[in-house]
Every structure is written in C-alpha cells, then in structure tokens.
Amino acid sequence: MAWNIDVVEGCAVVRMNTNKVNVQNEQFFADLHAAFDRLEREFNELPVVLTGQGDAFSAGIDFQYSFDIFGSGSQDKIREWYRAYRATNLRIFQYPRPTVAAVNGHAIAGGLITALDCDFRVAARKPAKFGLNEVPIGIPMPAAYVEIIKYALGDQVGALATLRGKLYEFEEAERLGFFHEVVEPDKLLATAIGYATCITPDCNTAYAMSKKALQDGVMRQIEERTVALDAQLPAGMSDAGNRRAQDRRRQEIMNKRK
C-alpha cells in the first residue's frame, strides 16, 4: 500500500505504512521512492514531515530479507542491497525542502538512520527504543551512513552510537541529543509541522542552497572517499564471525515469533 500523503497546514505529512512496524525491505524502499516521486511531482513547494504508525517510527531493516542476502555468498547481491539502501537514505537526506522526522515510537538501526536523514527530529515522549545496533549483530556500518550519522549527531555521539550499538531508552536517547525537541504525543504532529514550516515557500531556494552548502562536506566524503571503504562491505557482510552473529540474531527473532 502506498504511503499516505496529506497536506496539513501547508506541509506534506507522509505516513509510512509499508508494514506494521515499517521494517525496511524491497517494498519499503519502493514505497519510499514512490512517496518522494509524488512529493516532487505534486507537492514540490511544500516542506515534509515523515512519521510512522502506532508505537513504531521504523524498526529498521527486515532481518529475514537482509540476512538471506548477506548469507548468500553473492557479493553482487550484497552490493545491490547496499546500493538500494544507500539510495533511499540519500533521497531523504538531500531533499531540498525542510524535512522533519516526527518520531512516534521505536526508531532502531536503519529506522533511526531514516530519522537522522531528516533536517529535524521531534519525538513523542513515550516508552520506546532508539539506537544503531548493527555492529553487535554482525553488520558492518557502511561508511556513507557513518557520515550522515556524524553530521546529525556529531562525531562523539555518532561514534558512541555506532560502535557500542546499544538500544537506548527514551530518556537516554534524549540526553544524547537524538532529537531536537521532545513533546507529549498529542503535540507531536503540530510541533513537527512547526519545524517544517520554519520558512515561507518564497524562501525555498535560499533553504535549498543553504542545506546543500551545509551538506557539501558530507556529500564529498560520501561521493569521493567512502567508495573504497564501502567496496569492502560485501566481504565484511559475509565474514564468518559476522555470519555467526547474524545467525544468532535470526534465531532470537524466530524464537520470539513462536
């Protein structure tokens, strides 16, 4: 089902609804690109608020989908998985209008990166988990994502979140600066729209040019200097130790579903 897009107070509110907790797989990627195609086609003057449903913003990559690819032994399949995933993140990160993540609940691994892709993050104060747990489950963090993480969180918190791989409770995520503002759940959308409408449409070019200038160093790193590092990802994803960690995580998920 295509993501819903509603115009609310001069803002395009995009509600992710690929599946119950927005795990990220081929369908999620397709839905994201379809939504941004529509934004560019029908709402290209409007800022964007991106939000989830229920208790989850996004639970991150679909482990069954991704682990099958990582364990396939095919470097071409792994390389294509990364190419597709990278494209979805850069589609949000480089969008020339104001983008706000209205974080309605859990934002884990790739789900948190989706939020970090946005210019601003507003979170609903409610019990939820937040973090980048890729490394402890045997997934090397792509260098392009690391650049986005450092841009959004700063070098120190970015390194802590990436390397430690901890899932944080709400209060600790707030303390670490994952969000620009925290509000009660009933104020989430209105506050996010307030951030998104920080400029009037006649200032869109000024915003787009300033955003591009701010991101210039990140994009240069991604386009010029992460290529060699990320070329090693297929081998890293298939490393025997990483595969054991991934298999443990797969078993944990399967046992929870029984």
The pTM score is: 0.95
Tell me the C-alpha distance between 140 and 226, whole Å. 14
Q: List pLDDT tens digits, range 238-251.
A: 788 988 888 888 78
Which of the four pLDDT bands, split at 50, 70 and 90, describes residue 254? low
Tokens of 179: 């969000």
Q: What is the CATH number of domain 4-196?
A: 3.90.226.10
257 has pLDDT over 60: no
- % of the chain surpassing 90 pLDDT: 73
- Domain-wise residue ranges, the chain: 4-196
For the residues 69-93, what does the mean pLDDT come to?
88
Q: List pLDDT tens digits, range 197-213.
A: 999 999 999 999 999 99
Give residue 147's pLDDT: 95
258 has pLDDT over 70: no
- % of the chain surpassing 70 pLDDT: 98
